Amino acid sequence: TNLDAANNYKVEHCKEPENWKVVEGAKIIYSAGFFATVSPDSIKAASRQKAQDGGIYCMNLSAPFLMQVPPFKGVFVDTMPYVDFLFGNETEAQTWAETEGWETTDLEFIAMRLSLIPSAKKSKRTVVITQGCDPAIVCVNGLVTKHPVIVLPQEKLVDTNGAGDAYVGGFLAGLVKGLPVADCCKAGAYSASVIVQRSGCTFPAKPDYKL
């Protein structure tokens, strides 16, 4: 992957009138955690705007190293009060707990604590932690639920790269339609199950799933 453009992104581009209009008009904004390495000012601007206009701001922990490097971790700490939906996998969640000194690897407990980090918004934070073929853990304001994924036989697994991102994509598709969290999780599970059966991040021309 050539990341030249992404690695040179500046908040000034985000705030150009025609681009900022998109930010202001968006009901939901999603930031991958990797953006913390490039333009934390853009994350700050977008997350604060959604807090101001009542929109939804979503973020992904994305990779363990982002929590292990203090300047990158600092971006998450600064942004967390403005995050409505936080995504991550089991390793990322446990790395967060380790860097916070929580002294636990219990994913349900970690999800609970992440959901209860004080918010600058009136809404309650939803934390979604995927864990491979095990059920996804969802926690809203300290209340944990589990949501099954689609378990496939080994011979159908072609490439697991992008499975987590596909899960988030399906989840957000449901969120955009105003579906309850359980249905968003079903959409995420479907998306992930499709991606892992194909080489690379590709998908069929027409999905067989309806939101």
The secondary element (H helix, E strand) that includes residue 167 is helix 163-176
Rounded Cα–Cα distance for residues 211 and 190 (Å):
11
Instruction: Please state whether beta strands 85-89 and 28-31 pair in parallel, antiparallel, or not at all (unpaired).
Output: unpaired
- Of 41, 78, 159, 165, the catalytic one is 165
Do residues 119 and 81 make contact, with C-beta atoms less than 8 angstroms apart? yes
With a pLDDT cut of 90, the percent of the chain lying above it is 87
Q: What is the pLDDT of residues 83-93, one digit of tens each?
A: 999 999 999 99
Q: What is the pLDDT of residues 13-51, one digit of tens each?
A: 999 999 999 999 999 999 999 999 999 999 999 999 999
Strand partners, 145: 138
Spell out the SS3 assignment of 51-108: HHHCCEEEEECCCHHHHHCHHHHHHHHHHHHHCCEEEEEHHHHHHHHHHHCCCCCCHH
Tokens, residue 112 = 């609970």
Check residue 202 and give its pLDDT.
80
85-89, strands of its sheet edge to edge: 28-31, 56-60, 85-89, 126-131, 134-140, 143-147
Query: Over 90: is that where the pLDDT of 208 sits?
Result: no
Check residue 154 and give its pLDDT.
92
Q: What is the pLDDT of residues 156-205, one digit of tens each?
A: 999 988 899 999 999 999 999 999 999 999 999 999 999 999 988 788 88
Strand partners, 64: none
Rounded Cα–Cα distance for residues 189 and 201 (Å):
15
Q: State the average pLDDT over residues 118-125.
A: 94
With a pLDDT cut of 70, the percent of the chain lying above it is 99
Strand partners, 147: 136
Check residue 51 and give its pLDDT.
97
* CA angle at 57 for the pair 194 and 95, rounded to the nearest 5°: 70
Q: State the average pLDDT over residues 65-77.
A: 96
pLDDT, mean over the chain: 94
Do residues 44 and 38 make contact, with C-beta atoms less than 8 angstroms apart? no
Check residue 1 and give its pLDDT.
61
Would you call 165 a catalytic residue per the annotation? yes
The secondary element (H helix, E strand) that includes residue 47 is helix 40-53
